[in-house]
Amino acid sequence: MARAGLTAERLTQAGAELADKVGFDQVTLSALARLFDVKVASLYSHVTNSHDLKTRIALLALQELADRAADAVAGRAGKDALVALGNVYRDYAREHPGRYAAMHFRLDRETAIASAGVRHSQMTRAILRGYDLTEPDQTHAVRLLGSVFHGFATLELEGGFGNSSPDSQESWTRTLDALDALLRAWPAPE
Residue 158 touches a second copy, criterion: CB under 8 A: yes
Binding-site member from 4, 7, 25, 44 for a second copy (CB under 8 A):
25
Q: Which amino acid is at 68?
A: R
x/- mask, DNA, residues 21-60, rule CB under 7 A, reads -------xxxx------xxxxx-xxx-xxxx---------
**DSSP line for 107-164:** PPHHHHHHSTHHHHHHHHHHHGGGS---HHHHHHHHHHHHHHHHHHHHHHHHTTTTTP
Yes or no: say if 24 and 101 are a contact pair by the CB < 8 Å rule. yes
Classify burial at 182, counting beta carbons within 10 Å of its beta carbon; exposed 0-12, middle 13-18, buried 19 or more. middle
DSSP 167: P
Q: Which positions from 63 through 92 interact with a second copy, judged by CB under 8 A?
A: none
Partner whose binding site includes residue 111, from DNA, a second copy, none (CB under 5 to 8 Å by kind):
none
Residue 125 binds a second copy, judged by CB under 8 A: no
Does 170 engage in binding with a second copy (CB under 8 A)? yes
The contact set with a second copy (CB under 8 A) reads 25, 104, 106, 136-137, 139-140, 143-144, 146-152, 154-155, 158, 160-161, 164, 166, 168, 170-171, 173-175, 177-178, 180-182, 185-187, 189-190
